[in-house]
């Protein structure tokens, strides 16, 4: 009887030890001393492509992709990146999405020749996994003021200190080299892929995506305080590209594209001024100019260059109204100078923000286009003036014509087999109405609605 009771007591003591040990483990887990490791085996790996400037379009794309990957149960998100940097606000949006992601995010600087500069350094540091291909580089994260040259010393110190603290916090969170991260901000230092691996800036060196996924098999990452082991043996690659609209918007953030839009917008607006009431050139010009200025918001624009191009537009418009070629020549010179100075050519290039310029061949092509366009405009203007000199304004008075574009009060009319700019002093006239010439002011006719009694 005693032995049985002793056995029961022994069993109760053993059970108590088990429960006590379990309680200690739970407490340790809660306190953060011991973290459980979960195997994360899901069906797919979501792959993104981030190329070029980090702008709000890229930020929305990355945020949306990470949400979609979480909803679809992806095992991993891989951001294949090649960037010279970009906007601070867009960069912080991307980092926030990565830090708060329920899915592990790997940033892979690839292919050979790619880089993660400026904002790209911060994004790479924030990733759960950081990897680079041989022949790539990372660094030069010093803050740069887009389009404003050098920042004042006081402002630069504030911005630099903030950026340094931010990247240190990110590096410490991910267990990476916080000392080097600070130097990348304060001194603009850079590393090759092998140097980055040796200095614990990145975690892996991989030839391509397949090589990276192979190395990540069984790798452990921390997701919101929990250790997660990646199991990618059966995961399929799911490419998640930008939408066509995102691709177009992101494609605008290119100096050559922005310049083409600015040039086309300028020509279209001048065409509208030369032929008032055409509508289509005016609408096209406004759309192109708005898109150009959207692109300028993410590029280091020299507003002096923009001012010269605006001055060229003014010269071209004025030349339509006066005799001679002087204003056209001045407009072409102003346009060429504005094109060459458009993107801060006097600011020394750095790895953080390399020199952004328009291709000289594109400048030459657009200048030739302007010369050809205004050659046609001036030829038409001279032809009209010669006809006017031969015929005299008075020969058109009393003649009838047809309204080509609405006169409200100015528009286009067709009189004596010629197209003329015309103005009505009376009520607006609609396209197709018959008018009578009552006078002229230079090359502009004065007309009125033809009365029904006139022949």
Catalytic sites, residue numbers? 118, 158
Closest C-alpha to 83, from 322, 351, 409: 351
Cα separation, 296 vs 423, whole angstroms: 38
Closest C-alpha to 294, from 87, 72, 11: 87
Cα separation, 404 vs 426, whole angstroms: 17
Residues whose CB is less than 8 angstroms from the CB of residue 218 and which lie 6 or more positions away in sequence, other chains included: 229, 230, 231
- End-to-end Cα separation, the chain, in angstroms: 138
Cα separation, 81 vs 84, whole angstroms: 10
Cα separation, 397 vs 263, whole angstroms: 39
Cα separation, 270 vs 248, whole angstroms: 26
414 DSSP β-pair partners: 402, 419
Q: Are 80 and 108 in contact (CB under 8 A)?
A: yes
Peptide bond into 111 cis (omega under 30): yes
Q: What count of other Cβ atoms lies within 10 Å of the Cβ of residue 244? A: 8
């Amino acid at each position: 009887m005693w032995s049985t009771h002793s056995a029961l007591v022994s069993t109760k003591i053993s059970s108590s030890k088990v429960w006590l040990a379990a309680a200690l483990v739970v407490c340790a887990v809660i306190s953060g001393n011991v973290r459980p490791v979960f195997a994360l085996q899901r069906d797919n790996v979501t792959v993104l492509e981030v190329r070029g400037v980090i702008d709000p379009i890229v930020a929305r794309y990355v945020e949306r992709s990470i949400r979609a990957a979480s909803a679809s149960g992806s095992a991993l998100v891989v951001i294949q990146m090649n960037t010279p940097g970009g906007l601070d606000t867009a960069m912080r949006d991307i980092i926030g999405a990565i830090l708060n992601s329920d899915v592990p995010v790997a940033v892979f600087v690839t292919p050979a020749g790619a880089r993660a500069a400026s904002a790209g350094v911060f994004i790479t540091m924030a990733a759960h996994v950081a990897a680079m291909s041989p022949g790539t580089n990372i660094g030069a994260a010093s803050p740069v003021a887009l389009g404003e040259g050098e920042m004042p010393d006081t402002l630069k110190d504030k911005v630099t200190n903030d950026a340094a603290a931010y990247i240190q916090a990110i590096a410490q969170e991910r267990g990476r080299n916080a000392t080097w991260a600070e130097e990348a901000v304060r001194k603009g230092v850079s590393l090759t892929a092998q140097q980055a691996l040796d200095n614990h800036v990145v975690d892996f060196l991989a030839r391509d995506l397949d090589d990276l996924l192979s190395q990540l098999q069984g790798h452990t990452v921390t997701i919101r305080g929990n250790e997660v082991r990646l199991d990618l043996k059966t995961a399929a690659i799911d490419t998640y590209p930008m939408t066509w609209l995102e691709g177009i918007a992101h494609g605008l953030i290119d100096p050559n594209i922005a310049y083409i839009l600015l040039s086309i917008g300028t020509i279209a607006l001048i065409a509208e001024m030369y032929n008032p009431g055409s509508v289509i050139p005016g609408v096209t010009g406004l759309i192109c100019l708005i898109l150009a200025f959207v692109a300028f918001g993410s590029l280091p624009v020299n507003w002096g260059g923009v001012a010269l191009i605006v001055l060229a537009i003014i010269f071209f418009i004025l030349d339509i109204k006066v005799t001679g070629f002087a204003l056209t020549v001045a407009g072409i010179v102003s346009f060429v100078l504005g094109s060459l100075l458009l993107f801060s050519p006097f600011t020394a290039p750095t790895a953080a923000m390399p020199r952004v310029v328009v291709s000289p061949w594109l400048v030459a092509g657009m200048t030739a286009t302007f010369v050809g366009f205004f050659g046609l405009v001036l030829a038409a203007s001279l032809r009209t003036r010669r006809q006017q000199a031969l015929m005299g304004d008075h020969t058109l008075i009393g003649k009838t014509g047809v309204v080509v574009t609405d006169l409200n009060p100015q528009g286009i009319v067709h009189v004596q087999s010629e197209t003329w700019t015309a103005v009505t002093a009376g009520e607006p006239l609609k396209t197709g109405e018959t008018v009578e010439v009552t006078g002229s002011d230079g090359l502009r006719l004065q007309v009125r609605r033809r009365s029904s009694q006139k022949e």
